[in-house]
Amino acid sequence: MLSKKIFPMIPLVLLAAPLLGISQAGPLERVVTVEKGAQDPAVSPDGTQIAASILGKIWLLPAIGGEARQVTVGIGWDTHPAWSPDGQFLAYAHHVPGGANLIVLNLETGGSAALYRTDNSIGHIAYPPQGKALYFLLDRDQLDSHLWSVPLNGGEAKQFSFTENHHEWSFAFSPDGKTVLLDHGRYGGSDVYTMDLASGDALRQTQTPGHEFSVNWTADGKSFVYIGSEDGRDSVFVKPAACGEAKVVFSSPYDQKQISVFPNGKSAVLCASRLLSRLDLGTGKTTPIPFKARFRLPPLAEPSLLITNARLFDGTGSPVVEKAAIEVRNGRIAAVRRGETAVQPAPGVRVLDAAGKMVLPGMMDNHYHYWFPFDGPSLLMNGITAIRDPGSAVSWSLNFKDAVALGILDGPDIFTTGPLLDGNPGYHPLVDVEITKPEAAAELVQALKKQGVDAVKVYFMLNPEVLKALVVEAKKLGLKSTGHIGVRTGWGEALDAGIDGFCHLRVWHDFLPLDLQPDGTRESLDFRKDPVARMQSDWSMVDLESAPVRTLLKRIVEQGVGLDPTLAGQRFEDEQRKQFGFAQQKIAKDTYKKMKGFVKMAWEMGAQILAGTDNGPYFDELEAYAEAGLPPTAVLETATINGAKWLGKEGDFGTVEIGKRANLVLVEGDPLKNIKDLRSIAVVIKDGRIVFRK
């Protein structure tokens, strides 16, 4: 589901990125060439072309590869192209702030029409063989994605699958258009079914412990082709449609594969690691399909600036400078002059008078799941110039990261862990990879490293031996690891393995008897069924002065482990009373009080606290730290330098120092006296360019 807020457009930002070429096309535009970033491939009915979403726009390219042609433009993020049976029309999902439109594009005339509008998201799209309607998946969330159709000549949309708290993520038509093949699942896996469109009756075609998706039905009706994911590997299966065993024709470690079968049924376009290749469905041989997509983008302002009369909190631990001038050249801090009354700017350099304002480093949300392309502007407006995304489908996340770096999307820098690495049953099937065997860990982490993740995240249904194997391999490869754990594996066990971070405050395994803990089975951690479990645990029973608590915190400090507690999200609000009984209300209030005490103890003992929200209100989180007893300077450090240090990027950002990137926030008031003054943001600067001004 996309965010429903309408965000203003914000000036674009440009950084360098691998496999991305940048050239000047003239004074009014930039041309940016990309050679990866593909998703949602769709083969044309005649097999000569491929439509794909490349960094949020729909492109066409020859089936053998080559120069791609952009066919959609504008501010939307466009996905899931689908060809009409005659190849003249191309339907796609056009995501915009606040929802999505189902668009049909006439490839001959260039005209387009919107058939359907939703406040949610639109997933996979397909024409039936008769071509009289358009079918699509309406995605409300990861456990509410179902099959709908809308007439091509206009009319009301109709829902076809009705399965509460289940999902379908892909579908394909039988040659006669009377039956659909679709994947269907919930927690802990999905299987392939056929569904009669007239009756709605479904017949299971597969039954495995893993996930199956990206389903295809060959044009001759004889075979199903789909992808199955189990223990960190994705495999392409071919299964007879009538009966018979499925055969694996290709397999490799997880890289968010998708597949689209050619009309002859003998080969398919395989999208993996955001690249395209042709897969022979008989031999399993792959042949690369290289492409070049050339984006034409508006020019960027000069990234140079002079800020005068600033009251500077530089984040280094030095005292506040009461009057400072900050010179920015080429997006980096060139000089910080202290106490000078007059600084002359270089010719043509913009001057920003910061009188009456405090300047501090750009802030970082260390726990923000960047699942929606238009989240960036609201983050920038809150002074957040970097995020750590601890759990997203890897191709989405890396595409958003590249799009921000290129200026295609507005937003903070994204540092991503890729998917949640979880056991079975996993609780987030849209963004997790389930792994149950320690021997499968090394190649999975190696594959994620190769794809470009910045760290890895382990999750709460992992068994201890699997978690250890993942963490150990990440450390070998120079990747940090963080974890939302405490159910099957305790924090102490993760520290033994060498973990680098913890998310949230779910420390059941270490502090409470096992018989008092939900174990995650039978959906016992689903917050809709057990709101106390969503509070991370019954902390009302934890003695903060006990030896287990102090011993654990001492180890966290000694091992330099980062802690993003997402504290504000555990605060008990009045509107939550209807979810809880009287006894649970007291547990929730006592839990939050104990959690605040734990965070304060952690800071006092020297733990590295990382400000993170889990997509909640950012300033609420910082104010929760102040409420817990952290002084304002420490609160600001959780929001600035600490996240950079955890990533090993403190030489690049996190403080206001010469040579570092010019990511700056100008605030009215004095957050060192009242942390709530952080809400009064006047200006945000990213890489030397003003991206928000009140």
Q: Is residue 245 part of a domain?
A: yes
Q: Is residue 653 part of a domain?
A: no
pLDDT at 577 over 90: no
Residues 239, 348, single domain; the answer is no
Q: Is residue 625 part of a domain?
A: no
Residues 282, 318, single domain; the answer is no
Q: Please, what sign has the CA dihedral across residues 351, 356, 361, 363?
A: negative
Q: According to the per-residue pLDDT averaged within each range, which of 110-124, 338-352, 508-522 is highest?
A: 110-124
pLDDT at 560 over 80: yes
Which residues does residue 563 pair with via DSSP β-bridges, in sequence order? Answer: 502, 609
Residues 65, 113, single domain; the answer is yes
Who contacts 42 (Cβ-Cβ below 8 Å, separation ≥6)?
50, 51, 52, 81, 82, 83, 260
Residues 278, 261: contact at Cβ < 8 Å? no
Measured CA to CA, the distance from residue 257 to residue 59 in angstroms comes to 19
Q: How distant, in Å, are the alpha carbons of 536, 539, 602, 604 from that of 509?
A: 11, 12, 18, 23
Residues 93-102: tens digit of each pLDDT: 999 999 999 9
pTM: 0.93
Q: Is residue 689 part of a domain?
A: no
Q: What percent of the chain has pLDDT over 70?
A: 92
Residues 255, 348, single domain; the answer is no
Residues 57, 91, single domain; the answer is yes
Residues 233, 322, single domain; the answer is no
Rounded to the nearest 5 degrees, what angle is found at the Cα of 106, between the Cα atoms of 101 and 109? Answer: 130
Residues 123, 209, single domain; the answer is yes
Higher pLDDT, 574 or 315: 315
Q: Is residue 593 part of a domain?
A: no
- The confidence score (pLDDT) of residue 22 equals 36
Q: Is residue 331 part of a domain?
A: yes
Residues 100, 217, single domain; the answer is yes
Closest by Cα among 88, 2, 78 to 40: 78
Q: What percent of the chain has pLDDT over 90?
A: 78
Instruction: Give the β-pairing of 455-459 and 420-422.
Output: parallel
Measured CA to CA, the distance from residue 560 to residue 610 in angstroms comes to 12
Fill in the DSSP letter of residue 410. Answer: -
Which residues does residue 681 pair with via DSSP β-bridges, in sequence order? Answer: 667
Q: State the CATH number of the domain containing residue 351.
A: 2.30.40.10
Residues 363, 316: contact at Cβ < 8 Å? no
Q: Give the per-residue SS3 of 487-507.
A: CCCCHHHHHHHCCCEEECCCC
Measured CA to CA, the distance from residue 181 to residue 224 in angstroms comes to 8
Residues 247, 330, single domain; the answer is no
Parent domain of 322: 305-359
Average of per-residue pLDDT across 448-463? 96
Residues 126, 179, single domain; the answer is yes
Residues 344-354: tens digit of each pLDDT: 888 889 999 99
- The confidence score (pLDDT) of residue 144 equals 86
Which of 322, 339, 359 is the last residue in one of the domains? 359
pLDDT at 4 over 60: no
Average of per-residue pLDDT across 45-59? 98
Q: Give the per-residue SS3 of 622-636.
A: HHHHHHHCCCHHHHH
Residues 332, 688: contact at Cβ < 8 Å? yes
Average of per-residue pLDDT across 172-191? 92
Give the number of domains in the chain.
2
Which residues does residue 113 pair with via DSSP β-bridges, in sequence order? Answer: 104
Q: Is residue 571 part of a domain?
A: no
As given in the structure block, the two tokens for residue 454 are: 């910045």
DSSP string, 497-561: HT--EEETT--HHHHS-GGGS--SGGGTT-TTT-HHHHTTS-GGG--TTSHHHHHHHHHHHHTT-
Least confident of 105-114, 489-498, 522-531, 640-649: 522-531
Which residues does residue 24 pair with via DSSP β-bridges, in sequence order? Answer: 30
Count H helices and E strands in the chain, helices first. Answer: 12, 46
Q: State the CATH number of the domain containing residue 188.
A: 2.120.10.30
Q: What is the average pLDDT score of the chain?
A: 91
User: Which band of pLDDT confidence, cut at 50, 70 and 90, is reported for residue 518?
Assistant: low
Fill in the DSSP letter of residue 167. Answer: B
pLDDT at 619 over 60: yes
- The confidence score (pLDDT) of residue 469 equals 98
As given in the structure block, the two tokens for residue 646 are: 């955890």
Fill in the DSSP letter of residue 341. Answer: S
Average of per-residue pLDDT across 463-488? 96
Q: Is residue 432 part of a domain?
A: no
Residues 198, 335, single domain; the answer is no
Which of 266, 296, 326 is the last residue in one of the domains? 296
Q: Residue 336: which region, alpha, beta or left (left: phi > 0; alpha: psi -120 to 50)?
A: beta
Residues 352, 327, single domain; the answer is yes
User: Which band of pLDDT confidence, cut at 50, 70 and 90, is reported for residue 539?
Assistant: confident
User: Which band of pLDDT confidence, cut at 50, 70 and 90, is reported for residue 685?
Assistant: very high
